[in-house]
Amino acid sequence: MKHMISALFSPMAFALGFLWPLSWQVVATLELAQAGLPAIVAGAAVAIPLGLMAQFRRSWIWLK
């Protein structure tokens, strides 16, 4: 149970569940890419690297 909760609140889960749709909608709204697949890919290009960096650093705070 502890592993499930820690996976649910991990940085990658936050990036995929919140940052990806948020960045996808921002890209589509600002018309930086066409609505549909290109906007989804652009959102993934933003969210996944941020989530991976936070996952490996174990923190969203980058200045320590």
Strand (E) or helix (H) holding 14 = helix 11-14
Q: Are 11 and 48 in contact (CB under 8 A)?
A: no
Instruction: Give residue 63's pLDDT band: very low, low, confident or very high (50, 70, 90).
Output: low
In angstroms, what CA-CA distances link 54 with 9, 12, 38, 59? Answer: 12, 8, 25, 5
Q: Using a pLDDT cut of 90, give the percent of the chain over it.
A: 17
Domain ranges of the chain: 2-57
Is residue 61 over pLDDT 70?
yes
Residue 22 has pLDDT above 90, yes or no: yes
- Asked if 40 and 24 count as a contact pair (C-beta separation under 8 A), the reply is yes
| Residues 30-60 pLDDT 10s | 888 877 778 889 889 989 998 888 888 887 7
Q: Is residue 3 predicted with pLDDT exceeding 80?
A: no
